[in-house]
Amino acid sequence: MTNRYDRQLKIKQIGTSGQKKFEGSHVLVIGVGGLGSFVSSELVKAGIGEITLLDFDDVELTNLHRQNLYVESDVGTDKLEAIKNHLQQANSNVKINTINKKYSADILSTKYDLVIDCTDNFPVKYQINEDCQKAGIKHIFGTCAANQGQVMFIDQDSACLECLYPKENIAELGLSKNIGTNPMIVAITGSLQASMAFKYLIDPQKISAGTLIVVDNWNFDFRKIHIKKRQNCLGGN
Ligand SMILES: [Zn+2]
């Protein structure tokens, strides 16, 4: 019988044992806008075991250019319902749960192997960062605006969002709503978050936490920057 994952099973770093680990994994994706669309569709198509999606928005017409899973007939409907429907059609093997509410710390649980921050709101990002660090949960930060995307895997021993951008500098960080978003940078950034999740769930020892990846899809720059953990920052170590 044809295995739907045949092509990824042939990757030597994945193979049958890696795929099995991936199929035994459960991730929480916070926000199913642009980044969340790419992250969830890639993880679901690759056969993650279980995925929980959190959001509270409806689909808007201005979402469609960059939030790849939504189609015109979804506009005005509940995002979670729409995305669950699209994802389940893509892969019926995956268990998909939805939580229709704004982010709060009580959502977090160690039943998740990993949390992926796909929100577009910096105050919420700092909250997710702080809560994950305190709860001992690993998470993947991601953001994009204009032509630039940034992604970093964060654990309790690595630099976190506070180490990267101290909260007092928050005003300097661009927001998609104000400065616009190149639709293709969303694909690249989301795909990098999904790639990190895929690698971590298959081979956790090899993930490089605290390394910021910065991509620009207008000048075509791709940089990796090691971020130093600040003394006495969140997480305690
Ligand atoms: Zn920190």
Q: How far is the CA of 163 from the centre of ligand 1 (A)?
A: 4
- Ligand 1: distance of its center to the CA of 9 in Å? 36
Residue 94, pLDDT score: 98
Residue 232 counted as domain residue: no
Q: How far apart are CA 223 and CA 142, in angstroms?
A: 15
Query: Do the beta carbons of residue 189 and residue 121 sit within 8 Å?
Result: no
129 Cα: distance to centroid of ligand 1 (angstroms): 9
Residue 13 is assigned to a structural domain of this protein = yes
Cα 66 to averaged position of ligand 1 atoms, centre (Å): 30
Tell me what pLDDT residue 26 has.
98
Residues with CB under 5 A from ligand 1 (ion): 160, 162-163, 233
Residue 78 near residue 58 (C-beta atoms within 8 A): yes
Strands 139-145 and 148-154: antiparallel
Identify whether 233 is part of a domain: no
Strands 221-226 and 139-145: unpaired
Number of domain units in the chain: 1
- Confidence at residue 171, expressed as pLDDT on a 0 to 100 scale: 65
pLDDT at 175: 61
Q: What is the pLDDT of residue 68?
A: 92
Tokens representing residue 183 in the block: 């639709």
Q: Tell me, what's the pLDDT at 5?
A: 96
**106 C-alpha to center of ligand 1: Å?**
21
Cα separation of 105 and 156, whole Å?
17
Torsion angle, alpha carbons of 151, 206, 27, 20, to 10: 140
Tens of pLDDT along the chain (237 residues) come to 789 999 999 999 999 999 999 999 999 999 999 999 999 999 999 999 999 999 999 999 999 999 999 999 999 999 999 999 999 999 999 999 999 999 999 999 999 999 999 999 999 999 999 999 999 999 999 999 999 999 999 999 999 999 999 887 776 665 666 789 999 999 999 999 999 999 999 999 999 999 999 999 999 999 999 999 998 888 544
Q: How close is the Cα of 155 to the center of ligand 1, in Å?
A: 10
Give a yes or no: residue 101 inside a domain. Answer: yes
Q: Separation of 49 CA from ligand 1 center, angstroms?
A: 30
Give a yes or no: residue 1 inside a domain: no
Question: Domain containing 49 — which CATH number?
Answer: 3.40.50.720
Q: How far is CA 120 from the centre of its chain?
A: 11
Q: Does 104 map to a domain?
A: yes
| Structural domain containing residue 109 | 6-226
d(CA 193, CA 153): 8
Tally Cβ neighbours within 10 Å of residue 6: 8
Tokens 């940089």 belong to residue: 223
In a domain, 160, yes or no: yes
CA distances from 185 to 35, 84, 111, 142, 161 (A): 10, 23, 31, 11, 20
**Residue-wise over 118-147: b if at least 16 C-beta within 10 A, else e?**
bbbbbebbbbbbbbbbebebbbbbbbbbbb
User: What sign does the CA torsion over 187, 188, 194, 195 have?
Assistant: positive
- Residue 172, in any domain of the structure: yes
Q: pLDDT value at position 181? A: 92
